[in-house]
Amino acid sequence: MVTATIPSSVNDYVTVVDAASGLEAFLCRFRIQSHLPAEAVKVSTNEYVVGFGRRCTHMGCRLVAETVAGASQPLPMSDGLLRCACHASCFDLLASGLVVMGPATDWLPTLQLTALPDPKSGVITSVRIDGWNSAQSVPYGIPYGGTTAKPLIS
């Protein structure tokens, strides 16, 4: 299991790697007041973290740039919508990664996360990555039906 520092601000993200599959993902922090995605983990009042696969489900382009360890960046999104730079597939990060538009076939896969509160303060600054919610979607890079990733270019 891997633990990861969560983004420090709302609408920020950090990139992470799921150790089991070796696949890239990104953790987003949102302020959500309605339509709470099932995958969201509460980290503060009205604030939640959701983890998504970092590759577009169309042809695997990376959806967000790499972040420096420990430093979160603003999501390149507007109103919760993230668009792939390659073919403009648009994902709704506030609706579990729903494809709003474009050639992507599948919703963005999500991570199973567990909040890790600080034992003393109770403040949540990190989460544990428990794997993919693969019962419903498959992250780009895992051969379908398999469990571990193949490198995109070997």
Residues that bind other proteins in the complex, under the rule CB under 8 A: 35, 38, 55, 57-62, 65, 76-81, 83, 85-88, 90, 92, 95-96, 98-107, 134-138, 140-146, 150, 152-153
Q: State the minimum distance, in angstroms, from the CB of residue 38 to other proteins.
A: 7
**Rounded-to-integer distance, Cα 118 and Cα 112, Å:** 19
Sign of the C-alpha dihedral, residues 86, 110, 6, 11? positive
Closer residue to other proteins, CB minimum distance, 38 or 123: 38
Q: State the minimum distance, in angstroms, from the CB of residue 29 to other proteins.
A: 18
Closer residue to other proteins, CB minimum distance, 29 or 83: 83
Closer residue to other proteins, CB minimum distance, 69 or 85: 85
Amino acid found at 7: P
Q: State the minimum distance, in angstroms, from the CB of residue 127 to other proteins.
A: 20
DSSP classification of residue 64: S
Q: State the minimum distance, in angstroms, from the CB of residue 28 to other proteins.
A: 15
Q: How many CA atoms lie within 13 A of 53 on its CB side?
A: 30
Closer residue to other proteins, CB minimum distance, 86 or 124: 86
Q: State the minimum distance, in angstroms, from the CB of residue 19 to other proteins.
A: 19
Closer residue to other proteins, CB minimum distance, 3 or 136: 136
Closest CA relative to residue 29, chosen from 80, 103, 92: 80
Sign of the C-alpha dihedral, residues 70, 153, 91, 34? negative
Contacts of 68 (CB under 8 A, 6+ apart): none
